[in-house]
Amino acid sequence: MKILLLTPWFPNPENPNLGNFILRQFELIAKQHDVFLLAFSANGTARNSVSCESTEKYGFKGWHITHRSRQGPISWRYAREGRSLGLSLLEKEQFVPDLVHGQIAHQIGDLLHRIKKNHSIPILCSEHWSGYLQERNEKLRPAERIRKRLAIRSVDVLLPVTTQLGQAMNRSGFGTQKIRIWRNPVDDRLFTPGSKKSFDFMHLSGLDANKRPLEILRAFHQILADHPKARLSIGGDGPTDALAKLQRELDIPPENLEIHGSMNYEEVAERMRSTRCLVQFSRYENLPCTIGEALTAGLSVISSDVGGIRELVNQENGLLIPRDGHAELTQAMKSYMKTPFSPKPLDLLSPKKLMDQIDAIYKEIGLKKVHRLQ
């Protein structure tokens, strides 16, 4: 099948790791199908109103279109110019897709609507954005509200990564008849159980206020009173200065704590092979990729009970705590140190299973198109 891939989140000029969940999905699709990628990014520091570069360095045939970001209607104009450039480049390549697979409805709905109106091609859209969830309930900007309405009119199948997100999007107007759950794949050849465990706990995230890494570090400090040899690995894509400062304030010995920066996919897998338990304490989430990766690698998971996390984490593989359960976080980590366990590695997110799922959906909407033409 020929599939046009569309994304507004990956690649990102300011943060290379932002949207890596989109990359995982598209890499899987590209193994089975002939794909062409059009990626769109807004950039507030761009010199030109619209520019483009090849996406070959990311492993895909296609183009990355960047448009200048400004406040008000002019930003919409730049975005439209970028959309038009992308579609003209697609036409020059003479790539005629059987279907379109987009990402993030409220950011790309105008493009999906344009394609549907002009070509009547079946359209799917994956969704990861946590703003629909009740615990976040983020308000869309005017342009995003327009794009969302256009997406509702254009998308044949919506693919949220969790049931919880699907229910939230249904309440937001998408309708249950369009919704199928399709999760992010995990490379089960890379994320495998390890035998040598250097760390008891690890936390990996963007290290922003939502992820609450400082609260995890404070909880770990309390663990050391009863378990002086416990070890924590903590880090990610965000700044680590606050973590280092808190380590000094709490007088946590360096042999008990490793603070690190950004890691690539292979480095994350290696760290999980040397760790027993992943700790998350987010205020809101859909389903972090790190949780799926940890469970595939045979780690236990301690996490706040938000978003769709409970769809994978249960009493057999981890501990769920209240969203603002600071005391419960410490208690869960103490409980794990007293009675650690290694769950059976999860196979729900294997590339083969997820490829079979998306192929079945592709064939279904492809048959619907044939039926309409007849």
What one-character-per-residue DSSP string does 174-221 give? S-GGGB---PPP--TTTS---S---EEEEEEE---TTT-HHHHHHHHH
Positive or negative: CA dihedral 113, 177, 286, 263: negative
Most confident range (mean pLDDT) of 20-24, 43-47, 112-116 is 112-116
**Predicted pLDDT at 373:** 36
Which pTM does this prediction carry?
0.93
**Predicted pLDDT at 70:** 65
Checking if the pLDDT of 374 tops 60, the result is no
Mean pLDDT of the chain: 92
Structure tokens at 217: 């570090």
**Predicted pLDDT at 286:** 93
**Predicted pLDDT at 47:** 74
CA dist 327 to 232, 285, 315, 321, Å? 18, 20, 19, 9
pLDDT tens, position by position, 258-284 = 999 999 999 999 999 999 999 999 999
Identify whether the C-beta of residue 185 lies closer than 8 Å to the C-beta of residue 25.
Answer: yes
Collect all residues with Cβ–Cβ distance below 8 Å to 248 and sequence separation of at least 6: none
* 209 CB-contact burial (10 Å; exposed 0-12 / middle 13-18 / buried 19+): exposed
pLDDT tens, position by position, 76-90 = 788 889 999 999 999
* Rounded-to-integer distance, Cα 320 and Cα 212, Å: 16
Question: At CB < 8 A and 24+ separation, what contacts does 53-56 make?
Answer: 55/11
Lowest mean pLDDT among 108-117, 167-176, 227-236, 349-358: 167-176
pLDDT tens, position by position, 205-232 = 999 999 999 999 999 999 999 999 999 9
Amino acid at 272: M
Structure tokens at 213: 């890494």
Identify whether the C-beta of residue 103 lies closer than 8 Å to the C-beta of residue 3.
Answer: no
Identify whether the C-beta of residue 168 lies closer than 8 Å to the C-beta of residue 133.
Answer: yes
- The residue-averaged pLDDT of 337-347 equals 95
Q: How confident is the model at residue 369 (pLDDT cuts 50, 70, 90)?
A: low
pLDDT tens, position by position, 185-204 = 999 999 999 999 999 999 99
Query: What is the phi/psi pair of residue 233, to 5°?
Result: -110, 125
* Rounded-to-integer distance, Cα 28 and Cα 130, Å: 23
pLDDT tens, position by position, 24-58 = 999 999 999 999 999 998 876 777 888 899 999 88
Checking if the pLDDT of 22 tops 50, the result is yes
Structure tokens at 241: 């200065």
Query: What is the phi/psi pair of residue 6, to 5°?
Result: -125, 135
* Helix intervals (H) in the chain: 20-32, 73-92, 105-119, 142-154, 163-171, 213-223, 241-250, 265-273, 289-296, 326-338, 351-373
3-state secondary structure 288-310: CHHHHHHHHCCCEEEEECCCCHH
- For residue 136, the SS3 value is coil
**What DSSP designation does 72 have?**
S
Pairing of strands 275-279, 257-260: unpaired
**What domains can be seen in the chain, in order of their start residue?**
2-184+352-373 (3.40.50.2000), 199-338 (3.40.50.2000)
* Rounded-to-integer distance, Cα 273 and Cα 298, Å: 8
